[in-house]
């Protein structure tokens, strides 16, 4: 780009336009990919064995990091609520206060960010490496559809993994929160658990968080497959693709979090 040729004051507009075009290209590419993925479901042309393989690789192997994240997150939520609880000496409400934010927002959000970093980035790196080493062309030459064989199983596994991990993280975060409440504020875990079964929280709050996790899963799945497939430029290109994937996933997660929060109310 001959940037010197453009007058200085219009460079800002040029940059903004370029950035906008880039975002639009990415969003469009992800939309087309989603369409192509969905087309493989009618009629189903998906490799079932690959789904199981990926579920193991993505799901089981992410358990430790999700567990650590969830335990600490629950603990942090209680520490944050602690000041307020002390101020109003409302120990009975601690479970509800920490549980509400955890179930509806923080657990799905942080789990999604961690899965985006662990699973999404791995997926992009793997697909990107396959693209730059022509393994995708090798599949096509064997008359095997790369979308049905590679992309759909990964996409399905990412969505399923994030859903299950969020469920798991919900439980562990509340566990961590209950025990931090005991250590820090001397609130008995029973009181804590009563706090969120007393009627202020219901299944709707859990479902709210889980719905979000599905939306986030779709975002991560699409972003990681899109950037993996769009990799160019050899090995450094794979690094760039991974970087672009985590950034796009994070931005997408936050924007859609907002949208789903409002829609679900």
Partner 1 sequence: MATTSPGQASHPADVDPVPEAHAPPGPVAALGGSAIDLFLGGKELLSVFIRTLYYSVRGKREKGAFTTQMYEIGNKSVFFLSITMGFIGMILVYQSGLQAKRVVPDYTMLGATYLELLVRDFAASIGALMLATRVGAGIAAEIGSMVVTEQVDALRMCAADPIDFLIVPRFKASVIMTTVLIVWAGTVAYLTGAATAYVAFDVAPQTFFNMALIDVGDVSVGLAKCLAYGAAIPVVSGYCGLSTFGGSEGVGWATTRAVVNTSLTIIILNFFISTAGFLIFPG
Partner 2 sequence: MSVETGIRFQNIVKAFGPKRVLNGVSFDVHKGEVFFIIGASGVGKSVLIKHLVGLLYPDEGEIWLDGEEISKFDEVRMGPVRKKCAMVFQHSTLFDSMTCAENVALPLRKHKGLTLKESVAEAKRRLHVVHMQEFGDRYPPELGDGMRKRVAIARALTLEPEYVLFDEPTTSLDPVSARRVDKLIRELSDTLGVTSIVVSHDLSSIFTIADRIVMLYKGHVRLLGTRDDFKHTPDGVVNQFINGRAQGPMDL
Structure-token pair, residue 235 = 């090995």
Footprint of partner 1 on residues 82-121 (CB under 8 A)? 82-84, 86-87, 93, 97, 100-101, 104-105, 110, 113-114, 116-118, 121
**Nearer CB in complex with partner 1: 103/151:** 103
Secondary structure (3-state) at 32: helix
Q: Which residue carries 């101020």 as its tokens?
A: 87
Asked whether the beta carbons of 256 and 215 are under 8 A apart, the reply is: yes
Q: Is 12 in the site for partner 2 (CB under 8 A)?
A: no
Contact residue for partner 1 among 33, 46, 54, 69 (CB under 8 A): 69
Q: Considering only 73-81, 91-99, 142-150, 200-208, which stretch makes contact with partner 2 by CB under 8 A?
A: 142-150
Contacts with 255 (C-beta within 8 Å, 6 or more apart), sequence order:
none
Asked whether the beta carbons of 108 and 211 are under 8 A apart, the reply is: no
The nearest distance, CB 109 to partner 1, in angstroms, is: 8
C-alpha 74/C-alpha 99 separation (Å) is 8
Q: Is 172 in the site for partner 1 (CB under 8 A)?
A: no
| CA 210 to each of CA 68, 108, 202: distance values in angstroms, whole numbers, following the listed order | 19, 7, 13
Please state the φ and ψ torsions of residue 157, each to the nearest 5 degrees: -65, -40
Asked whether the beta carbons of 106 and 77 are under 8 A apart, the reply is: yes
Chain residues that interact with partner 2, rule: CB under 8 A: 49, 126, 129-130, 133-135, 137-145, 149
Chain residues that interact with partner 1, rule: CB under 8 A: 19, 64-65, 68-69, 72-73, 75-76, 79-80, 82-84, 86-87, 93, 97, 100-101, 104-105, 110, 113-114, 116-118, 121-122, 124-126, 128-129, 184, 200, 234-236, 238-243, 246-247, 250-251, 254-255, 257-258, 261-262, 265
């Amino acid at each position: 780009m001959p940037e010197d040729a453009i007058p200085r004051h219009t460079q800002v507009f040029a940059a903004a336009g370029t950035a906008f075009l880039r975002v639009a290209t990415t969003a469009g590419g992800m939309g087309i990919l989603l369409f192509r993925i969905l087309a493989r479901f009618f009629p189903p042309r998906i490799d079932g064995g690959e789904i199981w393989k990926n579920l193991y690789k993505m799901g089981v192997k992410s358990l430790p990091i999700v567990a650590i994240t969830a335990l600490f997150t629950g603990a942090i939520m209680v520490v944050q609520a602690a000041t307020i609880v002390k101020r109003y000496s409302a120990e009975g409400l601690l479970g509800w206060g920490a549980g509400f934010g955890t179930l509806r927002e923080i657990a799905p959000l942080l789990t999604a960010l961690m899965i985006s970093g662990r699973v999404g980035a791995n997926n992009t790196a793997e697909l990107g490496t396959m693209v730059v080493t022509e393994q995708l062309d090798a599949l096509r030459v064997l008359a095997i559809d790369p979308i049905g064989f590679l992309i759909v199983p990964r996409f399905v596994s990412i969505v399923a993994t994030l859903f299950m991990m969020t469920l798991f993280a919900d439980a562990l975060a509340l566990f961590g929160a209950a025990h931090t409440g005991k250590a820090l504020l001397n609130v008995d875990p029973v009181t804590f658990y009563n706090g969120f079964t007393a009627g202020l929280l219901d299944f709707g709050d859990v479902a709210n968080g889980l719905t979000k996790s599905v939306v986030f899963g779709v975002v991560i799945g699409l972003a990681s497959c899109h950037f993996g497939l769009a990799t160019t430029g050899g090995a450094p290109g794979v690094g760039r693709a991974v970087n672009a994937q985590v950034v796009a996933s994070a931005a997408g997660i936050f924007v859609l979090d907002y949208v789903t929060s409002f829609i679900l109310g």
